[in-house]
Amino acid sequence: MEYLSLNYATLSNVLSAYPTIQDDKLEQVLDDYKKEELNEIEAYMADSQKEYEEKADLLPLNYNP
């Protein structure tokens, strides 16, 4: 999440340096960026969960590490 916060802050700073961009457009760009980043994180988490489940299926039922 630190990565997301850093990128969001950087993008916010860059876009706020241009006063010609209206506030509503800036907010829309930032919202779109957050949604895109969250979608990537959710996709990664879903892939990780699927990989975990596939590996768990390979273990014997009485497996004790």
DSSP secondary structure letters along 11-45: HHHHHHT-TTS-HHHHHHHHHHHHHHHHHHHHHHH
User: Is 61 contained in some domain?
Assistant: no
Give the residue numbers spanning the domain of 17: 2-56
Backbone phi and psi for residue 29, each to the nearest 5 degrees, phi listed first: -65, -45
Query: Rounded to whole angstroms, how far apart are CA atoms 15 and 57?
Result: 48
pTM: 0.51
User: Is 64 contained in some domain?
Assistant: no
User: Is 20 contained in some domain?
Assistant: yes
Residues 34-46 have pLDDT tens digits of 999 999 999 999 9
User: Is 63 contained in some domain?
Assistant: no
User: Is 65 contained in some domain?
Assistant: no
User: Is 62 contained in some domain?
Assistant: no
Give how many domains the chain has, as a whole number.
Answer: 1
User: Is 41 contained in some domain?
Assistant: yes
Query: Rounded to whole angstroms, how far apart are CA atoms 18 and 10?
Result: 13
Model confidence at 29: pLDDT above 90? no
